[in-house]
Every structure is written in C-alpha cells, then in structure tokens.
Amino acid sequence: MLWKGRPNRLAGVSQVAWPWQTDGMRQMLLTAAAAASFVLPAHAGEPAEIPSPGEIAAAAPARDWVPIAPSDLLVMDLAPGAAGEPRRVVIQLMPPPFSQGWIANIRKLAAAHWWDGTSVTRVQDNYVAQWGDPTEKKPLPAGLAVVSENDYVMRGDAPRWQRFSNLLIPHSDIQRYTSFEAGWPVAAEGTPDSARRWPVHCYGMVGVGRNMSPDTGSGAELYAVIGHAPRHLDRNIALVGRVVSGIEHLSSLPRGSEALGFYKDEAERVPITSIRLATELPAAGQPKFEYLSTDSESFAKYADARANRRDPFFIRPAGGADICNIPVPVRAVAAK
C-alpha cells in the first residue's frame, strides 16, 4: 500500500559504505559475485531473491565459523535495569599480536575482581561509553605493566592482505590499506605487504582510556565505541577488544551532561556488578560465541554483499564499503 510507510526491508544487517575500489578490486568483486551464485533456491513460481549480507552469513557452513575461546571473553554484568532486567556485556579480547601488554593487565584486573563496584562513568553521544573507577583512587593490583605507545602499531609478521585484496582500500597519497586479520579489522600504511598495521576503531570496539601521556593507560579504564567510527583515535589509543553481545546496554544509556559526556552526579553512574573472564564463571553459565572466519569464502561473499546491496529493497548498490561497514559476523552458540 502506498502510504503504509513501514520500511520492512530497511535494514537486516545494517551498514555498507564507501566505494574505494581499484579496477583490480572491482574485477575481483565481480569474480567473487559470479562465483557466489547469489540466487537462493526459489519455490516454483516465486521470483528468486538475492540474499542480504545477514542471510549470506547465516547460510555459511559450520566449518566457516571459528569458536572464541572462553579465556578471551570478558563478561561485564551491569546492575540490573529499571525493570530488573539483567544487563550483560560480553567483550572478546584481541588475539596476538595486538595490544597484548594491555590485555595481560586486563586479565589481571579481572582475576583480582578489581572492577566489581566500579561504574560506567561516561557516555558521550555518537562517541564512547567508558567505565572504570570514578574516584581514580582505587588501588590497582600489583604487577600491572606500563605499556608504551609503540605497541599501538605492530611491526611483526606481515598480515594476510593478499587474501583480502578485494577489500583493500588504497588511499590516494599516503598508501593505506584496510583488511581483516584473524577476524579483526586492521589498517596498514606503506605497501600491501607492510608489516606496520594496527587495529581500527569501529562501532563496538573496546579501547584503553589514558591521560595525556601515551603510556598512562593501564587497561583499568576502558571504553566502547557507540557512534560513527572515530578514525582519529586509531594509533592514538590502544584497542583491546570488541563487544560481541550486549552493546545496547552501553549504547542506550543516558548521555552524561558534563564535558565529554561524564555523568554529573554519582547516582547517574551505572554500577558494575562484576567483570570476569568467562573461564571464571561456572561452566554451565559460560557464554559461547563464534565468528565468521574472515579467511572464508562465506566472508568474502558477505563482504561483497555489504559493499553492494542487491537484496530487494535496494535500488542502487553503493559500489564499496569502508572497513567499519563490514562488521565481522559474531553469533552466540546455544548451550548443548
């Protein structure tokens, strides 16, 4: 009906974006599209529909999904909401080689139950939600490392840019690339085989708050991105993980009225009941997640579909996607 404006196909999996393709990239995307056979089986008499990115991910075979080790999951329980509803946020910590100094600190802080009784202290619209000790005086556990800014950028083994050259994003003057490494969005500059690369700030990524000096972030104060990707924070703050479940418990919190979104009154802060590594929870209560391997053909098809929506709602495919418009699919694994 003409005026029933409910856009029931406006979404599914959310965003795709910028068309930064070289001719080579375009050719690879076309090849991938041809190989992908983007038509779902149709019932007799029904037109075939091109699947959405979410449908492509959902149809990926089990072998393309990678389990996330419980030892890499940080489980943050906020105080229950106004109606008593539980508010659990689950964060996946990054694998090596990224940010391991801070992540070692975070494991120690969780083991010491250091965050219990701290709070979400800051929610700034279109930017970050941040948590930690609002007094800034709670003693930290012994043995935390001071991590230097050099670790913001990795200089180790070359990443696998080649595998996802169809997703590389060349910049016009300084050569810069983005791709996925073991399930994480990363960028590099120089040449595609450069070993200098870093994880990038996308929606839901978790980083380490710090003061002015680059080595002042311990990992005790963390933030999650709840807005448009703040690219200017890349290489300026350490990223340590991403929210894989419950981001809405942070993104839908009231915004703070003080500068930078800090809450004005103590009563506004959202208490943190506990933060634990999943391995410390009872086995039956441990959350289980898996992500779509970014080395899989399924992911290549998914990424292509994010860059070129061809499912029925869309009229004009965008022709490309920025790295943060290709969120790596993560899903909960049902308990057996």
Q: Which of residues 142-171 bind a second copy (CB under 8 A)?
A: 144, 146, 149, 152, 170-171
Interface with a second copy, residue 267, by CB under 8 A: no
- The residue (of 160 and 310) whose beta carbon lies closer to a second copy is 310
Binder of a second copy out of 92, 218, 245, 293 (CB under 8 A): 218
Give the C-alpha separation, 276 to 312, whole Å: 43
Provide, rounded to whole angstroms, the least separation between the CB of residue 60 and a second copy: 20
Interface with a second copy, residue 80, by CB under 8 A: no
Provide, rounded to whole angstroms, the least separation between the CB of residue 259 and a second copy: 8
Interface with a second copy, residue 39, by CB under 8 A: no
- The residue (of 159 and 230) whose beta carbon lies closer to a second copy is 230
Residue whose C-alpha is closest to residue 255's, from 132, 91, 127:
127
Interface with a second copy, residue 309, by CB under 8 A: yes
Tokens standing for residue 315: 């009229």
- The residue (of 75 and 220) whose beta carbon lies closer to a second copy is 220
Tokens standing for residue 180: 């996925």
Q: Distance of CA 73 to CAs 3, 16, 111, 167, 279, Å? A: 46, 27, 13, 28, 8
Give the C-alpha separation, 327 to 302, whole Å: 10
Provide, rounded to whole angstroms, the least separation between the CB of residue 283 and a second copy: 28
Provide, rounded to whole angstroms, the least separation between the CB of residue 172 and a second copy: 5
Binder of a second copy out of 232, 283, 334, 336 (CB under 8 A): 232
Interface with a second copy, residue 51, by CB under 8 A: no
Binder of a second copy out of 87, 108, 197, 210 (CB under 8 A): 210
Provide, rounded to whole angstroms, the least separation between the CB of residue 161 and a second copy: 16
119: amino acid identity, one letter: S
DSSP 52-74: PHHHHHHTS-GGGEEEPPGGGEE
Burial 95-129 (b: 16+ CB within 10 A, else e): beebbbbbbebbbbbbeeebbeebbbbbbbeebbb
Residues that contact a second copy, how many (by CB under 8 A): 99
Q: Which of residues 104-143 bind a second copy (CB under 8 A)?
A: 121, 123-128, 130, 132-133, 136-137, 140
Binder of a second copy out of 172, 265, 282, 334 (CB under 8 A): 172
Interface with a second copy, residue 227, by CB under 8 A: yes
Interface with a second copy, residue 26, by CB under 8 A: yes
Contact segment (CB under 8 A) with a second copy among 17-25, 69-77, 92-100, 279-287 equals 17-25
Is-contact 227 157, C-beta < 8 A?
no
What phi, psi does 152 have (nearest 5°)? -65, -30
Provide, rounded to whole angstroms, the least separation between the CB of residue 9 and a second copy: 6
Angle at 298 between CA 294 and CA 300, to 5 degrees: 60
Strand residue runs (E) in 133-247: 176-181, 184-189, 197-199, 205-208, 222-225, 239-245
